[in-house]
Chains A and B, each alone.
Chain A
Amino acid sequence: MTMEKKRYERPVIQKLNSGLLNKFGSATEIKPLTEIDGVPVKRLVAEYGSPLFVFSERQIREKYAEVHKIFTTRYPKVKFGWSYKTNYLNAICNIFHQQGSWAEVVSGFEYEKALQNGVPGNKIIFNGPDKTAADLQKAMANNSLIHLDHMDEFYLLNELAAAGHKKPRVAIRVNMDTGVYPIWDRFGFNYENGQAWSAINKIMTSGNFTMVGLHCHIGTFMLAPSAYGIAADKLAALFVRIKNKFGHTLEYIDLGGGLPSPNNLKGAYLPGNDLVPPIEEFADTIANSLLNSDIAPNELPLLIMESGRLLIDEAGYLIGTVIANKRLSTGRRATILDFGVNSLFTSFWYNHKISPAQEVSNYKEDVELFGPLCMNIDVVRESVILPPLNTGDRVVAQNVGAYNVTQWMQFITMRPNVVLIDDQGKPHIIRRAESLDTLNQMEEMPAHLKTFKL
């Protein structure tokens, strides 16, 4: 009689009270994640390889609808501008555009991407300090919303506008003290020292611009709703001051992005889920500031939000494979994965949740997770409580939707496939894995270097 053999797991022993309950070693972390939107991880890896980025279309749409509702039930006029730099894979952008998002871009190529995706020019918000004369000219011709970042840009656009006999639609980016430090005062014009008001006066009196809005982006992964309230108060005050002095009514106030996703920030002692205030609190504070401001009720501006991470982080997954297990000189366990900081760039600032992708025992151990790069900094998690993983086992890193498929590095390994699982549970490749050909395509070989003898 042949007997079905039991699933093997490495034998492990661990001292009690040695970090089992520290940091984020919650029991939920070891629940295996065997499928994404009904598609088995095993099947995804068999078809598309490992590592593999996976996005859930259903989750993106649901999250967008949820956040959109939170804002529109509190304030009458709201638009979202999809932050291209957060994730500019065209398929992802188009999901947001189908949901009704405008585009928010910070470079000439992102601007061009938005146009090519079919976003009308007048629904593209052009942010950032680095817009070339050609970028500005194009944005002006398309009636895009140009957010001025500094005086040099003002003078350049002023000249282009005068020469082109076209009035660009502009806003200024304002930086300010919202009680959260450091202040991001590298970007835009300062509120407290009068720079912002002075720039507004120049714009309003030059005659070459149509001033349409005010913009700010007060920081990243903001945990204080009050900061958004202060920002909205200050922009509303400028709105009223412009109305009073020039009799001009702005169309919108844009409060940027920065709303947190439920990720685990490094150095924080609580997991993201316990740390991050509900989004309702942010929306409440913002809506109250605008509704209670001195802006006349019939002139309330459109509220634009440029949320990135909040809307996409949770819909992104990175599947990987255990390459090897090691014991470090200190006796600690280390596991080497086939993705590192090259693919999962955000592991520099987040402790991403990592789950095994197959059934596991209840036993758990404290391990350090490394990537495959030949460098000391290639740490995916300094400490994570996981069941013993065998070589060849799969893991799934979660909440990886924001900033990874834009900031990933082609270093030592190639950028992997990216798959989108549609509303019906059908996977589609939305970006093919890079190959040696991808790299070589970019290179040129001078004739004298073509051959050698060894």
Chain B
Amino acid sequence: MILKKSVAISETGFIFNPATGDSYTVNPIAAEILQLLKAAKSLAEIKQEILQQYDVDEKTLEEDLSDFSSHLQQLGLAEHEA
């Protein structure tokens, strides 16, 4: 999955989609994931990164990541790799 190029992420966790004019807020962990996506990391790499830093089991994280990424797609902020 890749984040749409035009999507802007601020330091403070505000997301702006110039294509629609919509803005969003995210919690710190979501901001971190978005930054990693922006840096062209894959979901698998992101998973490893988060597992190292946070107190969470792999199964829970996998579920949450998959839910989060499908939500990003639903919101039109990300798309499947071509």
Contacts and interface: CB of A to CB of B under 8 A. Distances in A.
Interface residue SS majority, chain A:
loop
B27 A15 contact: no
Contacts of B53: 5-6
Contact of A6 (B30, B54, B61, B65): B54
Contacts of B27: 9-12, 361, 363, 387-388
A77 B2 CA distance: 74
Given A11-B29, A11-B65, A361-B28, A16 B23 contact: yes
Contacts, number: 70
A46 interface: no
Interface residues of B, number: 27
B40 interface: no
Interface in A169-211: none
Given A327-B67, A327-B71, A390-B60, A13 B30 contact: yes
A331 B74 contact: yes
Nearest to B22: A15
Contacts of A331: 71, 74
A393 to B, nearest CB: 12
Given A5-B54, A7-B55, A13 B67 contact: no
Interface residues of A, number: 20
A8 interface: yes
Contacts of B42: none
A363 B71 contact: no
Which of A7, A14, A331, A391 lies at the interface centre, i.e. has the most chain B CB atoms within 10 A of its CB?
Answer: A14
A14 B60 contact: no
B58 to A, nearest CB: 12
A363 B61 CA distance: 18
B75 A15 contact: yes
Interface in B1-51: 13, 15, 22-30, 33
A195 B31 CA distance: 70
Closest 4 CB pairs between A and B? A363-B27, A11-B30, A8-B56, A5-B55
Given A14-B25, A331-B74, 4 more contacts: A7-B55, A9-B29, A10-B68, A11-B27
Interface of A: 5-16, 327, 331, 361, 363, 387-388, 390-391
7 contacts: A6-B54, A8-B54, A13-B15, A13-B30, A13-B71, A388-B27, A390-B60
